[in-house]
Amino acid sequence: MWNKRELQRKIEEWLHEDIGFGDITTMSTIPEEEQGTGILYAKEAGIIAGLPIAQLVFETVDPSITFVAKAGEGDRVEIGQQIAEVEGSARSILTGERLALNLLQRLSGIATRTNQYVQAIAGTKARVVDTRKTTPGLRLLEKYAVRVGGGHNHRFALYDAVMIKDNHIKGAGGIKMAVAAAREAIPHTMKIEVETESIEQVREALEAGADIIMLDNMDNERMKEAVQLIAGRAVVEASGGVTLETIRSIAETGVDVISVGALTHSVKALDISLDLNQRKR
Amino acid sequence: MWNKRELQRKIEEWLHEDIGFGDITTMSTIPEEEQGTGILYAKEAGIIAGLPIAQLVFETVDPSITFVAKAGEGDRVEIGQQIAEVEGSARSILTGERLALNLLQRLSGIATRTNQYVQAIAGTKARVVDTRKTTPGLRLLEKYAVRVGGGHNHRFALYDAVMIKDNHIKGAGGIKMAVAAAREAIPHTMKIEVETESIEQVREALEAGADIIMLDNMDNERMKEAVQLIAGRAVVEASGGVTLETIRSIAETGVDVISVGALTHSVKALDISLDLNQRKR
Amino acid sequence: MWNKRELQRKIEEWLHEDIGFGDITTMSTIPEEEQGTGILYAKEAGIIAGLPIAQLVFETVDPSITFVAKAGEGDRVEIGQQIAEVEGSARSILTGERLALNLLQRLSGIATRTNQYVQAIAGTKARVVDTRKTTPGLRLLEKYAVRVGGGHNHRFALYDAVMIKDNHIKGAGGIKMAVAAAREAIPHTMKIEVETESIEQVREALEAGADIIMLDNMDNERMKEAVQLIAGRAVVEASGGVTLETIRSIAETGVDVISVGALTHSVKALDISLDLNQRKR
Amino acid sequence: MWNKRELQRKIEEWLHEDIGFGDITTMSTIPEEEQGTGILYAKEAGIIAGLPIAQLVFETVDPSITFVAKAGEGDRVEIGQQIAEVEGSARSILTGERLALNLLQRLSGIATRTNQYVQAIAGTKARVVDTRKTTPGLRLLEKYAVRVGGGHNHRFALYDAVMIKDNHIKGAGGIKMAVAAAREAIPHTMKIEVETESIEQVREALEAGADIIMLDNMDNERMKEAVQLIAGRAVVEASGGVTLETIRSIAETGVDVISVGALTHSVKALDISLDLNQRKR
Amino acid sequence: MWNKRELQRKIEEWLHEDIGFGDITTMSTIPEEEQGTGILYAKEAGIIAGLPIAQLVFETVDPSITFVAKAGEGDRVEIGQQIAEVEGSARSILTGERLALNLLQRLSGIATRTNQYVQAIAGTKARVVDTRKTTPGLRLLEKYAVRVGGGHNHRFALYDAVMIKDNHIKGAGGIKMAVAAAREAIPHTMKIEVETESIEQVREALEAGADIIMLDNMDNERMKEAVQLIAGRAVVEASGGVTLETIRSIAETGVDVISVGALTHSVKALDISLDLNQRKR
Amino acid sequence: MWNKRELQRKIEEWLHEDIGFGDITTMSTIPEEEQGTGILYAKEAGIIAGLPIAQLVFETVDPSITFVAKAGEGDRVEIGQQIAEVEGSARSILTGERLALNLLQRLSGIATRTNQYVQAIAGTKARVVDTRKTTPGLRLLEKYAVRVGGGHNHRFALYDAVMIKDNHIKGAGGIKMAVAAAREAIPHTMKIEVETESIEQVREALEAGADIIMLDNMDNERMKEAVQLIAGRAVVEASGGVTLETIRSIAETGVDVISVGALTHSVKALDISLDLNQRKR
């Protein structure tokens, strides 16, 4: 669901960051006509995300490279398993390798982590969603990796949904006035979410007509109470310090959505390598 | 040592990613004239990096905002400690908050991690350096955070130093030929590093006139042997799977430089928050 | 609610389109130090929209220009009424004049037209909204002018709300499947609108859980029937060939929203002029 | 005569305005492999302009789309007549449809209007030309549509010809001095036009050596007099409040060129639709 | 007559070319607070051009720098003469020095050369003009330097005047048809120049109504004949292999304009240096 | 060793500078379907550089053009010798001609000049290298041309090597402190060069551990002394006012590198022309 043209422009910039005026090592040591076959393989088990992006990196470096995925996007791979094969000019493969790996490792790290959260609440009705705590410049890709890992997305940015927090409530003079002001300003095609810290605020948000009510850092008892109070009249989102240990009990309170900042703000790269066999043409 | 003009352009792009055509919540709920004072404080102990960048974020959102650092760049802060104070339009502070925090948390996470590695080898002559395993689009900032944390940088990109690896050696027909080809192609102002996997290769690299010799995944005994063989005629770099547990013993082999990919490829954000007090003007 | 930084970049491009390497007439005939006072005034009655944009045009041409609005954004002005006063370098005023007027005339034309539709349904509960039939490159400004004229906006683009039309229904295998597929793919913060052409389709959309139901080119009787069937369980939008003559009777069917393509696709510029008095400094 | 590379870059931007990070409706409801055939047809009679631009829009969205024009650029079409056929991925056609139509409708609206003016003066020697009152960002396309409709262009911008108006005359100290100053500053390859409001000014402009003399808001008698006075020694242009009703009598005064702002500042879009038949591949 | 905004963007790019991620020498050796006064002086006699551009370079590097010109744009300077004084941060002055000098030396080189040609034909009525043989990316600046040196400009580019050469004549089927085709296609505000190689072609161009007739590589006798034939009915331009030795005799044939490619295609930089005195603040 | 993607973007900009909204002459006089064969040939003897760049220019104008080099990059050509053949649309060839020639002439001029310097020191061990006195925006191409002519490059920019000059030495408090400060700040992969003006300074630089020592404007005797003192412990570079007359004697002092600003700051274009034969298709 990401936009290919936008992505190509970003890849061009990232390649510029790493290559600048040229990969001086490769240009001076590898003959121009030398061919190679590179194998991308997992050095760690996890969920693979980013294969189409890695492919686009190599194709941007050199349109004559062929990239064949050996695993499906979202597949779980084991240590040593082949993920993709890339074939073409040895120079081009070496020049694109680092960016392709940096992206693939990061996105697979996110998908792997997301999937652990999703597995942890299997059987409940709740969705695991991300936040805006993403890496600057990589938001769309990171949110894509969350989906590949089985999660869902929260709003993309400040422009595609209203999220009324503490300071907005104070600025507008109360939840009711904040929701009314937003409703008047935004298209009828947009939703309004209100962040609440007490059952009292949940009630106010409900009366104000919020489409989504976020329960911020509430304990599970409070959340159950809120879910019963809301009774399907708004989407219920749990948020705040969610961990792999706590997520199942949160899901069991009956909330619809659980948002987890750690999906994207603290990523452990999945270890993936490229082995190149080169040959004279 | 980063370039302010370049950075401003990136910040504009990142703000666009998060704000797009507008922060619809803030615009519709917070009065335009409302003022505020925001306090950035640590929710976790660590090394702070990125204060000038956070300042530039707020100033780009709104040049009339004032930002006063309460901690020095590179300082260790404790839980609850104030890091900075930002004052001005409440709307502007809320709109810039997320990007400022996303950057500050990430860079402080890198500086904190780097500093642990640097402390671990205190008293030895070795430098801790980063790699090219950085986040696409953020390389200069991440390498800056490494320096703030007390580390040093490896080459910035493919264009500012020669690094001859396995595939380059094969492509050129041996270490000697690879070094010679690179030396002829590059300016006399650039250095050549050769990656070696055996004492035999170390010897070859030395004879070829390499400026830097990387010992790739060698055990400590082999590294000591290499250091003695090289005897100051080239810079010696250790690389491969370095951890906080192993780095001290590696440093004690006498190498000059130890490169650590995990400084940037798997970052745990340092937890930092912004508390805003708003008031009518 | 539009983004100032984005707008400045566009104004730069538009100035480049009109000025290129220089306003050769002004540069060669008007002395550099000559000052002037320009009066913008209406040559036709209507609603003024775009004053802050016109101001930004002049300030971009020359930051030392002062621009004082003599009418409020959204005010109705009569023939001959002064709208704004611009003061500064005569060269700069002449060079920025055309772009400022082209924008102001167009946006005021949209606000004026929109306001006629809004007046026509005064007292009903319906909103007049725009469509995606905007001028390429000017969408945000044109949607802003609709708001200035008293209208509201529909979705901004293909990315901020789901709108399921005939072809999407066929592609997904029915309304129910289309809504379900979209609901699974999108964030919980986004809404789904379904375009319907019969009461039968309205019923299907309602059962599928659509947030908004568009009644496409239905007659008023059919719309009344739909409004009763939906009974507040979804927002109801009327669409298709709406004119100033027909809009009141449509609003009286009880729909919530009426979308009008002509607000933006066929704009009559409001006639506005600039008179410059120049003087030696 | 427009530049294809420039146009492609603009189309990319306009697609971004409408698509952003993705057409979420189409992506989630239409299978990726689904094919379709779209027919563009006229819902109103008029002159078609913009077919190559619409083609470029679809090809930019998806290079595998084929676009076959069914009418010639500049042809008059009748209600219901097919204009073009577009074939390929159903997703791509739906995603590009709006921008293609927005451009085609607007440019055809301009060509249709222009053609009415051109027909109105058929048999006279005068040219109908446009002005700089174009939509910001669309000038080259709008001027192209004027040509397609049988009109001609005035200068493109402030940089490609000198146009001395009232304020320039005052700034330079008279028509003679203004023309002399401009002649000295500009290349010998450029022309100078002077705007005149009286026969006296016409005479001055003629003596000053103006290449083109504009008669601004003169009545027909005055214009005849001016034409006789000028007697072929300069191009004569009539300007100011020209309508379809008045243009023929203006042309019959013997002027060479008649400029009409309404060709571009107040455009009624020509109604054009796209019908898509989709099928599984 | 050049556009300041455009120029600033170019200077940003050129600074990026030279500075990239930072001037590592200056950043690591010069204290941030160190101030300096730099004197720009001539090491060779010539005409100075580019002072406002050099000023813009320093101001772009650091807005707090002050730049005071000690010579006027277009002045002749002698060896050792001071040209400008620049004061502010020592770091900023050193970082901007190279770009400022590279531009100033090149533009002064062009102005100096142009002035020699202009002096050589003093007293005749002919203009010395440049060509399109400029450095890619620097055309506007180089054409500006020609004007500073006392010369005039030819057309700026392919879009602002018609120049019909040999191949265009063949393509159109003769001079008459080429001029007619161009006249029909272009605005009435543009001129048509025809390149001729014989008196016969001059006659054809004149009959076709060319505004400018270029005499390409004709000897002086032939040019005199052409001037008499044309007799003021078109501007006459001499072109082809013009040198400082031959230009006077060419001017004396009575031509209006003499175009000289060497003004810009083979530039000898004027030798200019910057001496910096630094001090602790 | 230059980056093709970067270059394409620059060529687009340069084409825009020359073509803007269109080559109005060619568009209006040459039939769209007309084909042509253009021959690029030398009108002067010299070293050819820039053929791949000229090819890229034509391919960017029109991807269907074929370009066949008739000489090798770096070959010496004689007067009248064919350099390349370009075949395709006559319009496209004419539109791209000027930019292709402007680049080819300039780069060949640089290669030709460089080669004279290289020939002059044939048999010595010294390298001829360029400086940062390049044309803004063209540095990579000009440095490429130096290599084609048999020379080598100095550092590319301020970011890829340290060059400590007079002002840096003063700022840091001496050569020793300047080298130490730089060494601490930069990666171990970068070199440090120190500019010296006396034997005393050479000694200091050597003791400070400089990698490269530049002898600035020293006479040959002093340089010999410096070479003996340094004795291979650093690269030795001669610099300052080097001419074709003096370079051999400088090389014979035993220096490793001789830098020559005139290679790029004062370029005489090599005279190259394009002859087009056009034909109806």
SS (H, E, C) E162-174: EEECHHHHHHHCC
Q: Choose among C95, C90, C100, C98: nearest CA to C36.
A: C90
Res E1 pLDDT > 50 = no
d(CA B247, CA B124): 11
Within 8 A by CB and 6+ apart from F188, the residues are: B127, B129, B152, B154, B212, B235, B237, B256, B257
Look at the block and give the residue holding tokens 């602002």: E160
* Total Cβ atoms within 10 A of residue F72: 10
Determine contact: E267 vs chain F, CB below 8 A: yes
Paired with F233 in beta bridges are none
Catalytic residue among F34, F216, F225, F271: F216
Which residues in C lie closer than 8 A to residue D94 (C-beta atoms)? 167-168
Determine contact: E72 vs chain F, CB below 8 A: no
Within 8 A by CB and 6+ apart from F37, the residues are: F85, F86, F87, F276, F277
To probe the interface with C, which of D3, D10, D23, D28 has the most C CB atoms within 10 Å? D28
pLDDT (tens digit, 9 = 90+) per residue, C213-242? 999 999 999 999 999 999 999 999 999 989
Say whether B159 and F160 touch across the interface (CB within 8 A): yes
pLDDT (tens digit, 9 = 90+) per residue, C100-111? 999 999 999 999
Which residues in A lie closer than 8 A to residue F2 (C-beta atoms)? 21-22
Q: Which residue of A has its CA nearest to D25?
A: A1
Say whether D171 and C135 touch across the interface (CB within 8 A): no
Residues of chain D with pLDDT under 50: 1-2
Strand, helix or coil for residue E237? strand
Report the Cα C45 to chain-centroid distance in Å: 19
To the nearest whole number, what is the mean pLDDT of chain A? 96
Which residues in E lie closer than 8 A to residue D256 (C-beta atoms)? 188
Paired with E275 in beta bridges are E39
Res F129 pLDDT > 70 = yes
To probe the interface with F, which of D2, D4, D5, D138 has the most F CB atoms within 10 Å? D5
Paired with D275 in beta bridges are D39
Which residues in E lie closer than 8 A to residue D187 (C-beta atoms)? 129, 152-156, 161
Active site residue B34: no
Q: pTM for the whole thing?
A: 0.95
Res F24 pLDDT > 70 = yes
Q: Which of D158, D167, D171 sits opposite C19 (nearest CB)?
A: D158
What tokens does D152 get? Answer: 């001609």
Q: Residue C57's pLDDT is what?
A: 97
H-helix or E-strand spanning residue B212: strand B212-216
Say whether F187 and B152 touch across the interface (CB within 8 A): yes
Look at the block and give the residue holding tokens 């080898």: B121
Q: Are B121 and B257 a contacting pair, CB within 8 Å?
A: no
Chains within contact range of chain F (3+ C-beta pairs < 8 Å): A, B, D, E
Q: Residue E127's pLDDT is what?
A: 97
User: Mind spelling out the 3-state secondary structure of F14-62?
Assistant: HHHHHHCCCCHHHHHHCCCCCEEEEEEEECCCEECCCHHHHHHHHHHHC
Determine contact: E21 vs chain B, CB below 8 A: yes
Residues of chain B with pLDDT under 70: 1-2, 281
pLDDT (tens digit, 9 = 90+) per residue, E184-204? 999 999 999 999 999 999 999
Paired with B273 in beta bridges are B41
To probe the interface with F, which of D6, D59, D138, D140 has the most F CB atoms within 10 Å? D6
Work out the percent of chain F whose per-residue pLDDT is above 70: 99
Tally the residues of chain C.
Answer: 281
Active site residue B165: yes
Q: Residue B98's pLDDT is what?
A: 97
Say whether C190 and A257 touch across the interface (CB within 8 A): no
Q: Residue D177's pLDDT is what?
A: 97
Q: Are A207 and A227 a contacting pair, CB within 8 Å?
A: no
Chains within contact range of chain E (3+ C-beta pairs < 8 Å): B, C, D, F
What tokens does F161 get? Answer: 């090597």
Res A51 pLDDT > 70 = yes
Q: Which of A1, A140, A156 sits opposite D27 (nearest CB)?
A: A1
pLDDT average, residue stretch C35-55: 97
DSSP state of A30: S
What tokens does E96 get? Answer: 């901007």
pLDDT average, residue stretch E13-34: 94
Q: Is D87 exposed, middle or buried (0-12, 13-18, 19+ CB in 10 A)?
A: middle
Q: Which of B1, B5, B156 sits opposite E12 (nearest CB)?
A: B5
Helices (H), E231-275: 247-251, 262-265
Determine contact: E5 vs chain C, CB below 8 A: yes
Determine contact: E5 vs chain D, CB below 8 A: no
Which residues in D lie closer than 8 A to residue E129 (C-beta atoms)? 187-188
Q: Which of C1, C6, C140 sits opposite B27 (nearest CB)?
A: C1
Q: Residue D1's pLDDT is what?
A: 39
Which residues in A lie closer than 8 A to residue F1 (C-beta atoms)? 21-22, 24, 27-28
Active site residue B216: yes
d(CA A196, CA A215): 5
To probe the interface with B, which of E21, E25, E27, E28 has the most B CB atoms within 10 Å? E21
Determine contact: D5 vs chain F, CB below 8 A: yes
Q: Choose among B62, B64, B60: nearest CA to B52.
A: B60
d(CA F245, CA F259): 14
Res F243 pLDDT > 90 = yes
Q: Choose among A259, A209, A201: nearest CA to A233.
A: A209
Catalytic positions of D: 98, 133, 165, 195, 216
Strand, helix or coil for residue A153? coil
Strand, helix or coil for residue C245? coil
ipTM for the predicted complex: 0.94
* Total Cβ atoms within 10 A of residue F228: 10
User: Mind spelling out the 3-state secondary structure of C194-239?
Assistant: EEECCHHHHHHHHHHCCCEEEEECCCHHHHHHHHHHHCCCCEEEEE
Say whether F20 and D3 touch across the interface (CB within 8 A): yes
Which E-chain residues 106-145 have CB contacts (< 8 A) with chain C? 140
Active site residue A207: no
Determine contact: A45 vs chain C, CB below 8 A: no
Q: Residue A102's pLDDT is what?
A: 97
| Strand duo D46-47 + D76-77: pairing | antiparallel
Backbone angles phi, psi at A69, to 5 degrees: -70, 135
